[in-house]
Amino acid sequence: MSADKKTKQEQPVSILIVDDDDITVKRLEHLLLKIGFGVQTASDGMGALSLVRENTFDIILTDLMIDEVGGLDILELAKSRSPETEVIIITGYASVDSAIEATKKGAFHYLQKPIRPDEVRHIVGQAVKNLKLSKRVRELEDEIETEHAFAGIIGKSPKIQEIKTLIRHIEDSDSNVLITGESGTGKELVARTIHETSRKRQGTFLAFNCAAFHEDLVAHELFGHEKDAFTGASSVRAGLIESADKGTVFFDEIGDMPLAMQAKLLRVVQERELLRVGGTEPIPVDIRIISATNKDLKELCSTGKFRQDLYFRLNVIHIHLPYLCERKEDIPILSAFFLKRHGRRMEKQITGFSAETMKLLTEYGYPGNIRELENIVEHAVSMARGKTIRVEDLPGDLSEYDAFTFHQPTSQIKTLEEIETEYIAWVLGKVGHHKSEAARLLGINRASLYRKLKRAMLEDG
């Protein structure tokens, strides 16, 4: 549990007492302070409303008939600001019916005058229990929601449904996965989801950004080093791949991996072993590799910047993530998700977006994809003063500039040869690169398979 949550739990229950009868207020205040609650009081309706507007109380004890502002007005305002606040109505014998009516409108209970300390203790105690229960339920709901969002990628669009289905289909597979898509489309989230739903979920998930390191650093980070491998290497150090044994390694920006490192990675993929820098003894590793890129790897292969054999080994299962503007129907649900996330973080009770704001959000083009949408919503939540996000709360350029989108289709038509090569690589992956078995499944002889592998550069020679 976070320190923040702990602090909140340790705070005393805050109670507001509202009554125009000073004696009742004093008696209740004395009694509740003695129990250990934090107590504030108001002797008139306007003062009470002002306190409710400025503070969030856990419990409010209010007289039903105060002045021109009644207990029901206080109940309504308190519940609209904080639905979890428990309101207890104080009433005289003559207005018991009205008090019962108030409970139907959301009041927790009613106390009949004259006030009896035992009854107050009991009803307030019940309200505190209820409060704790509500908080726990909310915490659990939050946990479930987070889990759901983590394991289930958010969105209802056909493209996202397809991706979810594919991830479900590969739950029992250890095949390598290549995720393509522009920056900000959620590639790492998909990679984590694949890991969390796979047989390797008990193992570690380690992410490595290939674009963030120089070539020599990539080698050290990925493969580790032996003692005295270079000046300053005073001890053996396991690299990231070794540390992820029995788990998953996620290579982000794989298209930026230096060629020399690609050769080393190919060895890991093919032989399932690695050599530490300065080492001579191969170390066996059992990892699944998920790679991601926003570059055209096939194009990089054709210009010699990416090894084709490695490309086919990594691309056993391919998942392409669409631009956000290609799944506009998901923008409202994603916006609502980010609103909840940041509203909770900033402790703001914002219920939604105005229609005009949502229209603007849906029409915008998002060159930065989902990450940009989250950034926009976060900005809006921090700016919002009311319960609804308005156009004025959005970043200036969005509200000042009109935005409409067109885009060209991202799908590419593959040649038969490409499809054949990808299928062969997939079958090989399924059978653990056992060529006789792969040839049998493909319905061709071993010689034909070798010829095809050589042509596709999946095999040396």
301 touches other proteins by CB under 8 A: no
Which residue bears the tokens 């320190």? 3
Q: CB of 375: closest distance to other proteins in angstroms?
A: 5
Among 327, 364, 381, 439, binds other proteins (CB under 8 A): 364
Rounded CA separation 195/258 (Å): 25
DSSP strand E in 43-126: where?
59-63, 86-91, 109-112
Per-residue burial over 331-355, b if 16 or more Cβ lie within 10 Å, else e, is beebbbbbbbbbbeeeeeebeebee
Q: CB of 431: closest distance to other proteins in angstroms?
A: 35
Q: Which is nearer to other proteins, 256 or 422 (CB)?
A: 256
Rounded CA separation 357/347 (Å): 21
How many alpha carbons fall within 13 Å on the CB side of residue 348?
22
Pairing between β-strand 237-238 and β-strand 224-225 as defined by DSSP bridges: antiparallel
Residue 129 tokens read as 């229990």
Residue 382 tokens read as 């921090």
Rounded CA separation 376/393 (Å): 9
Q: CB of 198: closest distance to other proteins in angstroms?
A: 28
406 touches other proteins by CB under 8 A: yes
Among 140, 151, 212, 263, binds other proteins (CB under 8 A): 212
Q: Could you tell me the CA-to-CA distances from 137 to 8, 110, 131, 298, 342 in Å, in that order? A: 16, 24, 10, 50, 20
205 touches other proteins by CB under 8 A: no
Among 44, 73, 84, 182, binds other proteins (CB under 8 A): 182
Span 33-72, contacts to other proteins by CB under 8 A: none
Q: CB of 222: closest distance to other proteins in angstroms?
A: 15
Q: Which is nearer to other proteins, 213 or 250 (CB)?
A: 213
Element (H, E) at 148: helix 117-151
259 touches other proteins by CB under 8 A: no
Residues 6+ apart with CB under 8 A from 208: 221, 222, 240, 249, 250, 251, 252
Among 407, 434, 446, 451, binds other proteins (CB under 8 A): 407
In single-letter form, the type of residue at position 397 comes to D
Among 67, 142, 143, 296, binds other proteins (CB under 8 A): 296
305 touches other proteins by CB under 8 A: no
Among 184, 239, 247, 343, binds other proteins (CB under 8 A): 184
Q: CB of 309: closest distance to other proteins in angstroms?
A: 24
Q: Tell me, what DSSP letter sits at residue 213? A: S
Residues 6+ apart with CB under 8 A from 443: none
Span 435-454, contacts to other proteins by CB under 8 A: none
Among 9, 302, 351, 410, binds other proteins (CB under 8 A): 410
Contact between 360 and 393 under an 8 Å Cβ cutoff? The reply is no
408 touches other proteins by CB under 8 A: yes
Residue 305 tokens read as 């910047």
Q: CB of 441: closest distance to other proteins in angstroms?
A: 36
366 touches other proteins by CB under 8 A: yes
Pick the stretch among 111-119, 179-187, 222-230, 309-317 that binds other proteins (CB under 8 A). 179-187
183 touches other proteins by CB under 8 A: yes
Pick the stretch among 31-39, 311-319, 370-378, 434-442 that binds other proteins (CB under 8 A). 370-378
245 touches other proteins by CB under 8 A: no
415 touches other proteins by CB under 8 A: no
Which residue bears the tokens 């409202």? 332
Q: CB of 137: closest distance to other proteins in angstroms?
A: 36
Q: CB of 183: closest distance to other proteins in angstroms?
A: 6
213 touches other proteins by CB under 8 A: yes
Contact between 399 and 391 under an 8 Å Cβ cutoff? The reply is yes
Q: Which is nearer to other proteins, 95 or 185 (CB)?
A: 185
CA 261 to mean position of chain CA atoms: 32
Rounded CA separation 246/226 (Å): 22
Neighbouring C-beta atoms of residue 81, cutoff 10 Å? 16
Pick the stretch among 129-137, 208-216, 222-230, 433-441 that binds other proteins (CB under 8 A). 208-216
Pick the stretch among 68-76, 107-115, 373-381, 382-390 that binds other proteins (CB under 8 A). 373-381
What number of chain residues touch other proteins (CB under 8 A)?
37
Among 376, 384, 389, 428, binds other proteins (CB under 8 A): 376
Q: Could you tell me the CA-to-CA distances from 86 to 22, 92, 290, 348, 350 in Å, in that order? A: 22, 20, 50, 19, 20
Residues at the contact surface with other proteins, assessed by CB under 8 A: 182-184, 209, 211-214, 253, 256, 296, 323, 325-326, 364-368, 371-372, 375-376, 379, 395-397, 400-408, 410
